């Protein structure tokens, strides 16, 4: 295994680990040698993912049914994981989501509060609970934001604001906890073909492939594995001197211009000269 990427002997918690990017991240962590705890509200999804990871990697996988919007449950989750494995090295604050798409002028304020709590406050609750254990191991935290937190997305104002706040929380947390040996970074995934996303695209008749081709310089949407690779990089020693950063994994934004470089022979020739 490449230097810095071996996670043998490490213990990781992945919130929202039963499906999607969380599940893909948990599996990649296990492939790199970590033992993994999956946290989420639905035990049946966690059990299914745990069985998949165990079969694929042979690593220990522990599940903890947890509502990360509740501080006491976050503390109980961390306590249970440390009791099971004896340590904690990595916390992936992945749980999140938006409750419907609606204009801000019509948004139910209870849903606003719920989105802020799920996408921002929950990461604080889990991180505070994990802090003393991560301090002992020199561990790290990876917060999962979204490109909605980088550029904003109409119709999900609370989600966008919370994810932007998560990026600033990452900076402040890294500044306060870096001297205590804890790195904190953030990944902001773009359009990703998770199970939930694909189901939603199909239900709404949304042509994600066409939209991605028009919107992103790479011309496609991302995979769960691609998001997991960025997350696990931050969680590994390969990123041992990186903290307080947000990495956008969004396929590249297209920018405007006067010409198509591929169709301009003169400019193409100039660009090829050393």
The token pair at 200 is 């939603």
pLDDT digits (tens, 9 = 90+) for 111-138: 899 999 999 999 999 999 999 999 999 9
* pLDDT band, very low/low/confident/very high, at 188 (cuts 50, 70, 90): very high
* Mean pLDDT, residues 167-177 taken together: 98
111 contact partners, CB below 8 Å, separation of at least 6: 99, 100, 158
Q: Would residue 221 show up in a list of annotated catalytic residues for this protein? A: no
Q: For residue 33, with 0-12 CB atoms within 10 Å meaning exposed, 13-18 middle and 19 or more buried, which class applies?
A: middle
Third-level CATH fold of 11-272: Rossmann fold (3.40.50)
Alpha helices (H) along 138-192: 147-151, 157-177
Nearest to 170 by CA among 136, 135, 146: 146
Distance CA 76, CA 234 (A): 25
Of the segments 91-100, 146-155, 184-193, which one has the largest average pLDDT value? 184-193
Strands 183-189 and 61-65: unpaired
* Mean pLDDT, residues 221-235 taken together: 98
Domain boundaries, the chain: 11-272
Check 125, 159, 221, 241 and give the catalytic one: 159
Q: What pTM, to 2 d.p., does this model score?
A: 0.92
* pLDDT band, very low/low/confident/very high, at 206 (cuts 50, 70, 90): very high
Distance CA 236, CA 2 (A): 11
Asked if the model's pLDDT at residue 269 lies above 60, the reply is no
Per-residue pLDDT at 263: 56
Specify the range with the lowest mean pLDDT, choosing from 46-50, 63-67, 241-245, 267-271. Answer: 267-271
């Amino acid at each position: 295994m490449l230097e810095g990427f071996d996670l043998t002997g490490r213990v990781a918690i992945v919130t929202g680990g039963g499906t999607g990017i969380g599940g893909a991240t948990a599996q990649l962590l296990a492939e790199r040698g970590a033992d993994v705890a999956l946290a989420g509200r639905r035990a049946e999804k966690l059990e299914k993912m745990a069985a998949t990871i165990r079969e694929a990697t042979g690593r220990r996988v522990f599940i903890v049914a947890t509502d990360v919007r509740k501080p006491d449950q976050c503390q109980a989750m961390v306590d249970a994981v440390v009791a099971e494995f004896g340590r904690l090295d990595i916390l992936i604050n992945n749980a999140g989501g938006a409750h419907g798409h609606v204009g801000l002028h019509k948004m139910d304020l209870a849903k606003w509060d719920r989105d802020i709590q799920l996408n921002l406050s929950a990461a604080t609750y889990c991180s505070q609970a994990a802090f003393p254990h991560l301090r002992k191991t020199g561990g790290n935290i990876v917060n999962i934001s979204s490109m909605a937190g980088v550029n904003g997305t109409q119709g999900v104002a609370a989600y966008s604001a919370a994810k932007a706040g998560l990026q600033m929380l990452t900076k402040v947390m890294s500044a306060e906890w870096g001297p205590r040996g804890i790195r904190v970074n953030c990944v902001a995934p773009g359009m990703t073909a998770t199970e939930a996303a694909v189901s939603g695209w199909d239900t709404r008749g949304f042509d994600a492939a066409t939209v991605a081709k028009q919107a992103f310089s790479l011309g496609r949407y991302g995979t769960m594995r691609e998001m997991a690779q960025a997350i696990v990089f931050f969680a590994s020693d390969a990123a041992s001197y990186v903290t307080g950063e947000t990495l956008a994994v969004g396929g590249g934004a297209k920018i405007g211009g006067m010409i198509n470089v591929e169709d301009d022979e003169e400019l193409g020739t100039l660009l090829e000269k050393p």
